[in-house]
Structure 1
Amino acid sequence: MMKRKLKASALFMVMVLLLTGCYAKLPDIENHTLDDAYRSDAVVYNTLYASEVTNLNYLVTSSPVDTVITANVIDALVDYDNEGNIVPGLAESWECTEDMCTWVFHLRNGIKWVDYEGNVYGEVVADDWVAAAEYVNNAANETDCQYMYCTGSVVKGAQEYYDYTRSLLHPEEYDVKPKKVEPSDIGVMAYDDKTLIYKLDKPCPFFLSVLSYTSYLPVSRKYLKSSGTMFGKDYKNVLYNGAYILHYFQPLEKQILVKNPNYWDRDKVYIDRVENVYDSEAATIGVERYEEGLIDKAVVSADKLERYLSMRFHSDEIHGTIPDCSYSYFYVFNFAPSYNEENEPENWRKAVVNENFRKAIMCSIDREEALSVYEPYDPGKLVNNTVTPPGAISIDGKDYTKFGKLGYYTGRDSYNRNDARIYRDLAKRQLNEAGVTFPIKILMPYNPSVVGWKQEVFTIKKQLEHSLGTDFIEVVVEAGSDTGFLNAVQRSGKFSFMKCRWGADYEDPKTWTEPFEEEDDYSFWHQCEDEKVKEVCEIWEKQKDNASEITDDENLRFEAFAEAERLILDHAIVVPFSIMIGDGYVMDKINEFEREYSSYGIAKQRYKGCHLYEDSMDMEEYQKAYKEWAHIEDEEE
């Protein structure tokens, strides 16, 4: 069992200061309003990190590296409990009209904006969300998360205002100049200081689930205006309303988050201070630093897991992490290749439109073997049989992947060598008639900066060639650029068959259809001229659009989306692969089952609700806690 944490925090601080050599740069802890966070018995969570925050202006960034700060210092209208249920946040209540086009939020009392030293700047009011909407949708601010106002949930006037402001900056992009739109035309308004209203262009049953994204976080209009271009440039030029305040931040050195004494829900904040020390070698030295008692969390890499588990001290502290269903990984077939002639793109173009050929590849991939690169002990827990991961969305306890005929795929493994060879033989006769030459070159690039991807690709190359024969296919593995891989390879169509990923933007099946929509840069199947592929694409579009129109019955909506997803699996347009591994195995003195949980947005990055324990859980303790959290009952013997 885990024990309560009784930690000599003062001694630890001295040790860290000596090790990091940053004593002179720490904030002045003698003259500020945050004394409780620095007292000798304060509860302090210490970590290392290797990827630095690039932007503290939360209105323009959605990068997970940046939002790990944002999530803890800025609260949203809604929160999540530790099981993923939406609960009141800065809004204590809300209601919507019957058509779900107007949403009204009532703010709680006592919400304060404070500066980095904890001094109260003012009250959080409804206009703070109006100011945020105007800022995010102004193209001059170059936010990377503006799309959340027009994807899924469509806020009135938001895209029109963005297009108008962009046309002022880039008139050459518009054949017809957009009509003038004022900021006040955006459908976000403050009825009074405590009442916020969103007006949408169409019904949106999942609107609450978009509200914890950075683009829907509040900002003080007065502070934003006075800060000008300095807003978010450093920790001193941001206001805070969340559980923590970023009290100190020196890039490539240290981040210090302290408990906000003016936080509206401070009784649920159990860690007084979070200290994150930068080290580019964090992944390498983390376990050693944990063993020395200098940090409270270390990620254990897959290649060292077996060795550490054989050592008593480490084995008593190592455990897994919650499977991360916020992202889905899948292999896509490129129906519009644009790579060099040496890899025979035209031959691939003829081959890929053959459904039996695609199914032969689908049935040849042993995903558990490929995923053992990342999870050597239980790779099966990462396998995903559908595009939408199990656990990502549910209604009344029923998972989306169990709706309709999609459930057929949820419980089955597509890997079957006998089926693969049957499909190969059927395809070969058809491909001969189509003028395809053999072996068919399959260009499979990988990003060399992603740990394990190279080994994964070579594993799948071996599987495909062994299953289908090198006289039928030749898998060409190629390292892509380790910088700008997405644009240089995926979006440019420089692949035949490649692993891609997609993450949920909100809690609805529609979000998982976006990689396959007309302007997608995944499979490019809308550009395919083959009649059979075009027919499947058109049917899918109709099914997806019909599902989107169902807003008054969530069960019918889920059924309809499940049928659309089943269609692309039936025709092997995509090969589902895995969910995200997340942190994998860790030593961590925080119990992650206590923190907020959501398969989308930034909520699960919060420390609120977490206690700090003396020890990390071991494997057995973790499995027991996981089963309780996931409501999994042990099978009767």
Structure 2
Amino acid sequence: MKKRRLIASMLCAVLTASVALSGCGGKTGGGSQGAGKETEAGGGSAAPTVYTRLYGSEATTVNYLVTSSQNDHWLPANTIDTLIEYDNKGQIKPGLATEWEHDEAALTWTFTLREAKWVDHTGAEVADVTAQDFVDAMKYELTPEYESANVQNLFGVIANAEKYYNGLVYNGGADEDGNVWEPIDFSEVGVKAVDEHTLVYTLEEEVPYFLSSLAYVVYMPAYGPQLEELGKEFGTGADKMYYNGAYYLAEFSPQERQIMKKNPLNYDADMVYIDEIHRVYNAEYNTIGPEMVKRGEVDYAEIPADILDDWLNGEDTKNLISRERPRTSYSYFYSFNFNPQFDAQYEPDNWKKAVNNENFRKSLFAALNKVNPIAITDANAPEDFAINSITPANFTFNADGEDFTTVGDMAALGQTFDETKAKEYRDLAKTELEAEGATFPVKILMPYNPSELNWDKECQIVEQQMEALLGSDYIDIIVEAGPADGFLTEVRRNGKFAFMKCNWGADYADPETWTDPFYQKKGEEGYDLGYKYGNIAKAIEEGTPSAEAALEYFTLVEEAKSLKTDINSRYEAFAKAESSLINHALVIPFSITVSRYVADTLNAFDGQYAPFGVSNLRYKGQTINDHYISMDEFKANQEANEK
């Protein structure tokens, strides 16, 4: 057997005593008056350190086994431990598993679990964490009636996962593609509890990124007896699930507050330095947050563009402001919607003619000057965040250590903004579309989530710039606010947009993860349109002029996915697929996550880091400072981390 063994390292930290501020329902670390762990008079017990921040978009569920939304993952990231973790430098380390090994074919993976406990929403011990909890959690995800959005992550990875799931769905019948799915017993699925502390996964085929994927919610455990008892009610409230992570969820009051408290029974409790995390709901958090920072009432707030210069130059605010940690875990891109479901007033039929014309898409592709909208968030160095591919640089490397974005066809991708080409594509598109009966200007519905800081301003910049370059007689970009809550489901998943900035967060360390938003698997009867970004397969289904480009991309993805052992060939194949997607302007690359300007009492480089999974959402390992981090401190912390 090939064996991989890691031993967890322990770090020591000292929490300094200081005066805590009260605000938002607890003692917080922010403000110039100082904060942190306050000692009661007379040498009694210390008051808890509380980290407080506002939020404006409510989680739809606490049930991490069914949700794929990052907005829902804040809570499980901190309350449920995974088999492996990442440290603050992005290196893999033991989590609930102390060691692991795999066979020569890398198909059978065996994990040895440490002693750990489940607790309830009061922190009271419930039961031991066992290997069976991982088995029961996966069975729950593979039960169709629970409608898990994560289940696709298991298909083609865990042996017989897809067969079991579809066997329940079709029970010996045929799916819409004519495939017959006979029911099988769950014992045939590739997850087994050998004993209380030995967990075995059997894979469908070799999966180069399997170990890294274990840091994602789809492989989190859950207490089996509770799953059986609650069914669909699991995760609908703080008292409707158990916890084994650094924190337990003490309160979940939608559109009021979320309170997580340190779990003293967690195996790694010595590495948890913040006693309570308070997330307080306020629909106007973008406006109110900075003012509460000035009063020392919250530990974190984003600083919007319209007050950024004042804060950077103000004597009383310039040392309160720093940046988020730069990361490549998210890629942003503009999606074209090939399956519009928006209202008639936005002319969906006319849009379908336009979006299926490659020259029309390329005219928008070449007309988008990324630097201008990015500058809304960072006016100092917006070009640092613009990208010309979907996969960010420094995300993953081939067997020779080459960055994926420099491999094969990816190396030829260059600057996308080109005014001259944009006009050339426009003129070609007008001639072609007029012949097809399209009318001008083409209405382009571009919605945004009003709870996302600066998104409205970005949309206005894009509208003004592109209409000015291409002409308002050619395109009419219509910027509209969508709902703050449920935006993802209401707008993107329901196809109520024509052109919109979207994002994708990597789930594992492999370029395949960046195909997940676009790739759609074909059956005998067609494609499952599902929730895929823009529903590119709709072009194939309807036989539009874009069908050939869409089919080329899907075929190239399938070829790349089939390469398992030769990593260099695999990466070159995925490079060819992504280049095809971009060169046909089926999507427009935009940026990595722009490091926002923030006021924060945490050192951004203390926390866990990985360009995938939920590691970046965790508070474990972080310490509240008695002041907001300044820009000079941020730079010093960044340099120290890089060393």
Q: TM-score, normalised by structure 1?
A: 0.84
Whole-Å separation in 2 of the counterparts to 1:252 and 1:41 = 27
Are positions 1:407 and 2:411 aligned together? yes
Does residue 58 (structure 1) correspond to residue 64 (structure 2)? The answer is: yes
Distance 1:426 1:597, change over 3 A: same
1:141 and 1:425, CA in 2 relative to 1: closer, same or farther beyond 3 A? closer
Gaps of 5+ in 2: 1-12, 29-43, 521-527
Q: Write the mapping of 1:307-346 to structure 2, written as runs, cut at 5 A.
A: 307-335=310-338
Is 1:179–2:179 an aligned residue pair?
Answer: no
Tell me the amino acid that sits aligned with residue 224 of structure 2: R
Shift in Å, 1:336: 5.5
Tell me the residue number matched to 1:77. Answer: 83
1:91 to partner: Cα distance? 0.8
Distance (whole Å) between structure 1 residues aligned to residue 256 and residue 424 of structure 2: 58
Are positions 1:610 and 2:622 aligned together? yes
Corresponding residue of 1:299? 302
Matches within 5 A, 1:125-524: 125-150=130-155, 153-167=156-170, 178-225=181-228, 231-335=234-338, 349=352, 351-395=354-398, 398-409=402-413, 412-425=414-427, 427=429, 434-435=435-436, 439-447=440-448, 449=450, 451=452, 452-471=454-473, 473-479=474-480, 481-482=482-483, 486=488, 490-491=492-493, 495-518=497-520, 519-520=528-529, 521-524=532-535
Q: Distance in 2 between matches of 1:174 and 1:545?
A: 18
The separation in 1 between residues aligned to 2:65 and 2:169, in whole angstroms, is 17
Alpha-carbon displacement from aligned partner over 1:125-158 (angstroms, at most 9, x marks no partner): 21111111111211223333222212xx521232
Q: Report percent identity of matched pairs.
A: 36
8 A contact 1:439–1:470 mirrored in 2: no
SS at match of 2:301: strand
Q: Tell me if structure 2 keeps the 8 A contact 1:323–1:382.
A: no
Tell me, yes or no, if the aligned pair for 1:417 and 1:467 is still in contact at 8 Å.
yes
Give the whole-Å Cα distance in 2 for the aligned partners of 1:41 and 1:508: 44
> Does the 8 A contact of 1:115 with 1:236 survive in 2?
yes
Residue of structure 1 equivalent to 2:567: 554
Partner of 1:526: 537
Deviates more, 1:359-368 or 1:54-63: 54-63
Whether the aligned pair in 2 keeps the contact of 1:16 and 1:294 (CA below 8 Å) is no
Answer yes or no: is the 8 Å Cα contact 1:155–1:200 preserved in 2.
Answer: yes
**Aligned CA distance change for structure 1 residues 438 and 315 (closer, same or farther; 3 Å):** same
How far apart are residue 615 of structure 1 and its match?
Answer: 1.9
**Structure 1 residues 422 and 90, CA gap change in structure 2 (3 angstroms):** same
Q: For residue 442 of structure 2, what is the amino acid of its counterpart? A: K
Give how far 1:373 is off.
3.0
CA distance in 1, matches of 2:359, 2:24: 63
Corresponding residue pairs, total: 602
Match of 1:569 among 582, 589, 592: 582
Cα RMSD between the aligned structures? 3.5
Corresponding position of 2:100: 94
- Deviation digits for residues 379-418 of structure 1 (CA, Å, limit 9, x no counterpart): 3233221111223333475432122231333xx4321212
List gaps (5 residues or longer) in structure 1: 20-37, 632-637
Q: Cα gap change, 1:278/1:435 in structure 2, threshold over 3 Å: closer, same or farther?
A: closer
Whole-Å separation in 1 of the counterparts to 2:428 and 2:243: 63
Please identify, of 303-312 and 518-527, the stretch whose mean Cα deviation from structure 2 is larger. Answer: 518-527
C-alpha deviation, 1:530, in angstroms: 6.6
Q: Residue deviations 1:304-354, cap 9 Å, x none?
A: 212222222211010111234333222234455566677666665555455
More displaced stretch, 213-222 vs 274-283:
274-283
**How big is each residue's C-alpha offset from its partner over 1:95-123, in whole Å with a ceiling of 9 and x where there is no partner?**
22333322211112x32223344443332
Q: State the shift of 1:568 in Å.
A: 2.2
What secondary structure, in the 3-state scheme, does the structure 2 residue paired with 1:134 have? Answer: helix
1:621 has 2:622 as partner: no
Match of 1:26 in 2: none
Taking a change above 3 Å as real, the CA distance of residues 476 and 271 of structure 1, as seen in their structure-2 partners, is: closer
* 1:39 and 2:50 aligned: no
CA contact (8 A) 2:27 2:49 kept: no
Q: 1:261 to 1:460 in 2, by over 3 A?
A: closer
Q: CA deviation at 1:161?
A: 2.6
Work out the CA distance in 2 between the residues paired with 1:228 and 1:349. 42
Residue 586 in structure 1 maps to residue 598 in structure 2 = yes
Residues in 1 aligned to 2:360 and 2:53: alpha-carbon distance in whole angstroms: 49
Looking at secondary structure, tell me which structure has more helix per residue. 1
Quick one: which amino acid aligns to residue 385 of structure 1? N
Q: Partners of 2:352 and 2:634 in 1: how far apart?
A: 48
Whether the 8 Å CA contact 2:193–2:199 is kept in 1: the answer is: yes
TM normalised by structure 2 equals 0.83
Matched residue of 1:128: which SS?
Answer: helix
Conserved in 1, the CA contact under 8 Å of 2:98 and 2:112?
Answer: yes
Change (3 A) 1:569 1:454: same
Moved more, 379-388 or 57-66: 57-66
| Mapped partners of 1:138, 1:185: distance in 2 | 15
How far off its partner does 1:524 sit? Answer: 4.1
| Cα distance in 1 for residues equivalent to 2:444 and 2:86 | 43
User: Could you say what secondary structure the match of 1:446 adopts?
Assistant: strand
**Aligned-pair distance for 1:440?**
4.6
Q: Distance in 2 between matches of 1:450 and 1:408?
A: 37
- CA–CA distance in 1 between the matches of 2:578 and 2:604? 32
Query: How far apart are residue 627 of structure 1 and its match?
Result: 4.5
Relative distance call for 1:389 and 1:444 in structure 2 (3 A) is: farther
Cα distance, 1:595 vs structure 2: 0.7
Mapped to 1, the partners of 2:458 and 2:469 lie a distance apart of 16
Are 1:112 and 2:112 an aligned pair? Answer: no
- Structure-1 separation of matches of 2:562 and 2:253: 49
CA distance in 2: counterparts of 1:147 and 1:466, whole angstroms: 42
Closer/same/farther in 2, CA of residues 289 and 476 from structure 1, 3 Å limit: closer
| Partner SS for 2:564 | coil
